[in-house]
Structure 1
Amino acid sequence: MRIATWNVNSITARLPRLLAWLESTGTDVLCLQEAKVAAEQFPTDQLRELGYEAAVNATGRWNGVAVISRVGLEDVVRGLPGDPGYEGVEEPRAVSATCGPVRVWSVYVPNGREVDHPHYAYKLQWFEALKAAVAGDAAGSRPFAVLGDYNVAPTDDDVYDLAAFEGLTHVTPAERAALTSLRETGLTDVVPRPLKYDHPYTYWDYRQLCFPKNRGMRIDLVYGNEPFAGAVKDAYVDREERKGKGASDHAPVVVDLEV
């Protein structure tokens, strides 16, 4: 079984690449982030032509997540239980579903913006709500994973140059502590192998030639419980999909399971 996560940074802009990628890779389940469309504009029909169903949580031009599956889609939950909301609004940042033998969450964790910004406090609160929401499944016997754009680099090695992030979000002790706390529910960081260079970055800014210079970050993560992690046969970053005209600034992270 092949499961992947991919921040497409607008499904409208990325649709031809997305459809071609699904077809060429034989992915069974895709957790997608930053759809940036309303739910009724999501390309459900085009995906159905390839044999996929989609569970979508999206409201417009910002955020938006989905679980896309060709192995079943049951017990769908749209949104994060206990979502703290930002400025009184619950943003579309989470959706979960059971796909065959595996249950998955697709998450787009708040960016945080700046350390002294209210969005940063919201980010930490969102992590607390996520931990509470997934704890039961994380400790369960069914393969379970939380996949998505976490907007946190777990370790210093997960950024190309720590000095470049001094005083910025994504690398602060509080954010990393939130990741640690989430893992304490029984989740393991399924670290993919790089297909080039020595570290599996998943995101490269569009600016300053970051991708050609490999100035990346590993912020797209797969956190799986023991049954999930134990079934992993391979995991890698599909760096090729970050290349060329019309690419997202994130690459897909692919996990192959024997379940």
Structure 2
Amino acid sequence: MTSTDTVTLTAGNGEPIAVTRFAPDGQPRGAALISPAMATKASYYTAVATWLADRDIVAYTFDNQGYGASARTPLKDVGADILTWAADAATVVDHVHEDLAEHFGGVPLTWIGHSLGCQLLPFTDHSKITRAVISCGGTGWWKNADYPDKAIAPLLWWAIAPALVKVLGYYPGKKIRLLGDIPGPVMTQWARWCRNPDYLFGVLPEHRATYAAVTMPVTALTFTDDATMSAKASAHLESFYTGAELIPKRFAPSEVGREKVGHMGLYRRGNEDLWEKLLLPEVATV
């Protein structure tokens, strides 16, 4: 039987970061930390975290500032940007490392990043992580997008997003059916990166070294029907991990017994067979 516990950490800016642990009954053989996609609550990953715990993998999920159990104010009042979330991810890794040492004998930790979560790993103390899975990841440089997204991308990044953030204080993606609801500073920073062919490196070139410092095995899972992240976008992000032992694995849905997987499908409840085939073999164990 899986036991769950939630603790609230304090971010560098004083905001809460809610972290939930899903622990098996006995001694785990490994651990996994799931870093969520943009505008996605930790609760989206409850099913896969519980499933991992049932297989003797202690799993952790967390909410980025502004979402789920970490939300303290309306989204329009959230002051965090992507680099704030990156610092929060580092805080979570430190906590998980200490928790594993205290309660589970320091079993190996695997980072499972989904979409945006694929980009935050380098900003943590990844010496505390044994290996990583980056799933459905990519950069946002608009010319890497496939149609129809490529047609609307310039309008989104140069006009729609800046205007809506200026007027509303946040990006109301759900209302306009284009991405999710996103804090203003996050959307402003992300838009700036997406307007640059080198993505964040074009704005913050010092972070080339941040990515290059990751030397662990990194498995990159992508799907051919992911309309949010094209093959070019995924390959672009993968190229950032110059120091890692990168293992790209790209699947058509039919190869994993599905009609569609897309950008969000891998972690949906009911996909236990995909977790068995694609995730569990990548989790480091003793």
TM over 0.5: no
Task: Report the structure, 1 or 2, having the larger helix content.
Answer: 2
Task: Report the structure, 1 or 2, having the larger strand content.
Answer: 1
Q: TM-score range by the shorter chain?
A: 0.3 to 0.5
The TM-score normalised by the length of structure 1 is: 0.38
